[in-house]
Chain A
């Protein structure tokens, strides 16, 4: 059960972390006939995994993978919120009301296209010019 759990955790956090010698961390590896001296096994364990790996109880928190987002906070002023029209047939609702839009803009959100969109549009126009 423990092996299955560790395999599950290790495969979640990347296949590179899984190695047959994973259970011998901190011990000395049996040195073969060609190695001159015993060496300590160097094991690459992700930082978030290293804290959870030692606890073997069931209430262990499996670290979640946050793909490419950094954890640095983004101010509301930098976030553009887009509300497209619903295209599903028979749908009469909408995601935001004028009241909720007012709440968003009061909090600092920009409701509309982002500045990056305009930047990309201008850049693509210039790139056509230089081609």
Chain B
């Protein structure tokens, strides 16, 4: 769980930690999981965090189709 991930949705880090999540500071550690749960499709910089064997669960389509294709070309 990345630090401040739920801040805009008024969920504090303390609430997540109390629920059993481990709070990490940088995005690289938040992406270093077997299963990554996210809302929006990854950007190109976020796609670099993904390695083999990881599963990413997001929405499929973004409004920006060009960056979507770019991310797919980066992953595969």
- Chain B CB within 8 A of A21 CB: no
Interface residues on B, range: 20 to 34
| CA gap between A101 and B16 in the complex, in Å | 7
Please name the residue on chain A nearest to B33 by beta carbon. Answer: A82
Given contacts A98-B19, A101-B21, contact A113 B30 (CB under 8 A): yes
The contact of B1 among A78, A79, A87, A112, by CB within 8 Å, is A112
On whether the beta carbons of A82 and B11 are closer than 8 Å, the reply is no
Stretch at the interface among A2-10, A31-39, A44-52, A88-96: A88-96
| CA gap between A80 and B24 in the complex, in Å | 13
- Chain B CB within 8 A of A41 CB: no
- Chain B CB within 8 A of A81 CB: yes
- Chain A CB within 8 A of B27 CB: yes
On whether the beta carbons of B20 and A111 are closer than 8 Å, the reply is yes
Please name the residue on chain A nearest to B56 by beta carbon. Answer: A82
Contact with B along A99-127 (1 / 0, CB 8 A): 10110111001111110110000000000
The contact of A97 among B6, B27, B34, by CB within 8 Å, is B6
On whether the beta carbons of A82 and B30 are closer than 8 Å, the reply is yes
Min CB gap A54→B, angstroms: 34
Min CB gap A68→B, angstroms: 8
| CA gap between A92 and B39 in the complex, in Å | 10
Contact with B along A50-90 (1 / 0, CB 8 A): 00000000000000000010000000001111111111100
The 4 A-B pairs of least Cβ separation, nearest first, read A82-B33, A112-B22, A105-B20, A117-B32
